[in-house]
Amino acid sequence: MKFNAVAVLGFAVLFLWVGLPVSGYGAEFHLVPTLAVSEIYTDNLYNDNEGEVTEFITRFLPTVALEYEAPRIVADLAYSFDYRLYARGERDNESTHIIAASALATLVKNLAFLEVKDSYEQVSLDSTRDFAEESLFDRQSDRNVFSASPYLKFGPYRRFSLETGYRFTDVRYERDTGTDKQSHAFFADSDYELTERTRFTSGYSYTIENTEEDDYTSNKAWGGLRHQYMENSFIYGNLGYVWIDFDRADGEDNFYWDLGITHDFGTLTGSARVAVDYQEDPEGTILRREYYDLTLIWYFQRGSALLSLDYSDYLDAATDEVDTRRYGGDFSVQYELAPRLSGSAGFSWKEFEERDKVEAGPGVFIDNDTDTRRLITSVSLAYLLGRDFTATLGYYFIDSHSPQEEDDRYESNRIILEVRKTF
């Protein structure tokens, strides 16, 4: 397990310096343990097109959730130990950790603060496709993200507030499966309440990022409005401009935006969004994502249903060429069958179009595109055995098809029985 030593030291210093002196005065401490044990049957452990491997997996997932609040510090920690035992020995037994920790310390009352965060989890190595939905381990890696941010907060003064500070971020992947990086960001964000229902926000950030692949600097400036035109209904729009300078490639400068609306019709809530943003994939490539999504949620007497449609283009910021196109939809329904029994069902359809070129000769490149269609069908029943004590039985069918890529051409059936108790 590749823990970040800086993260451990940072949290220890923060608690000792700020938390302990006041732990006996006005402090609140809350601890909630949970234990989940599940048995998983799969007929295709490695998601292979040929030579499917059947396996029974016993999964132990003890979890501890901790909340701490004192006059000068607020902190919370959620930790899970994930152990997987493979009954037939088709894969070595393995374990991983899931950590989400944060702490906010008041250094100077109503003025200076220090925020520290750390997360450790298993993530997909493809930012456009979540392989955790298809497998417990395939094309995934453990990742640790640590951040520390001292900042100043001014206001609110006459409905205006300003935050300005510095943020250090350290990202590390297990076993060199992703690109480690460190970034130093300087930021200033403002918020102005124009009316009780309308707010104007703006911000600027300057970031220096060092990675194993390529270093870069970026400047971002943005502003936006949010208006709540009725209860539980609002419209917003943000517009910004970004300048990115790479050490080893051409830079990128362009507009980005985020426009959306959410409307409450009573038994139906609808949301629509059009946005462009920048994100970094595990390999260290800066991607410009252009996406559209529509979500509808129906509420009825004993349950709810959700329908969502989305479309995304991922462009390499250094070349401005489309790297991956993704589109599809999701539908799910939840229903209370009896006072102690509930059921759910879902269907997910996703299309992935990857664009690539390979060198066929000196200076000659040809297209090497890959198209993948992925379907996931699920159904589950949950029964309340007692207070905070549930048993869940689920079935999942995954159908992945690609004319070009054999690794993405497979079918898989999974049955999962889980018992979960919160103490």
Domain ranges of the chain: 1-178
Cα-Cα end-to-end distance for the chain: 28
Mean pLDDT of the chain: 91
Radius of gyration of the chain (CA): 24
Largest CA distance in the chain: 73
- Tell me how crowded residue 181 is: count the other CB atoms within 10 A of its CB: 19
Q: Is pLDDT at 118 greater than 50 in this prediction?
A: yes
Q: Is pLDDT at 22 greater than 50 in this prediction?
A: no
Q: What is the pLDDT of residue 85?
A: 98
Higher pLDDT, 29 or 275: 275
When pLDDT is cut at 50, 70 and 90, the band that residue 212 belongs to is confident
Q: What is the pLDDT of residue 356?
A: 79
When pLDDT is cut at 50, 70 and 90, the band that residue 4 belongs to is low
Q: What is the pLDDT of residue 251?
A: 82
When pLDDT is cut at 50, 70 and 90, the band that residue 192 belongs to is very high
pTM metric for this prediction: 0.89
Instruction: Tell which residue, 127, 102, 118, 138, has the closest CA to residue 2.
Output: 118
Q: What is the pLDDT of residue 9?
A: 47
Q: What is the pLDDT of residue 243?
A: 96
Q: Is pLDDT at 3 greater than 80 in this prediction?
A: no
Instruction: Answer whether 232's CB lies under 8 Å from 297's CB.
Output: no
Q: Is pLDDT at 361 greater than 90 in this prediction?
A: no
Stretch 74-93: mean pLDDT? 97
Q: What is the pLDDT of residue 175?
A: 73
Instruction: Tell which residue, 232, 294, 299, has the closest CA to residue 260.
Output: 294
Instruction: Answer whether 247's CB lies under 8 Å from 214's CB.
Output: yes
d(CA 341, CA 417): 15
Stretch 396-401: mean pLDDT? 98
Least confident span in 47-51, 59-63, 353-357, 387-391: 353-357
In three-state form (DSSP H/G/I as H, E/B as E, the rest C), the secondary structure along the chain is CCCCHHHHHHHHHHHHHHHHHHCCCCCEEEEEEEEEEEEEEECCCCCCCCCCCCEEEEEEEEEEEEEEEECCEEEEEEEEEEEEEECCCCCCCEEEEEEEEEEEEEEECCCEEEEEEEEEEEEECCCCCCHHHCCCCCCEEEEEEEEEEEEEEEEEECCEEEEEEEEEEEEEEHHHCCCCEEEEEEEEEEEEECCCCEEEEEEEEEEEEEECCCCEEEEEEEEEEEEEEECCEEEEEEEEEEEEEECCCCCEEEEEEEEEEEEECCCEEEEEEEEEEEEECCCCCEEEEEEEEEEEEEEECCEEEEEEEEEEEEEECCCCCEEEEEEEEEEEEEEEEECCEEEEEEEEEEEEEECCEEEEECCEEEECCEEEEEEEEEEEEEEEEECCEEEEEEEEEEEEECCCCHHHCEEEEEEEEEEEEEC
Q: What is the pLDDT of residue 50?
A: 86
d(CA 400, CA 328): 14
Higher pLDDT, 325 or 12: 325
Q: Is pLDDT at 14 greater than 80 in this prediction?
A: no
Q: What is the pLDDT of residue 237?
A: 98
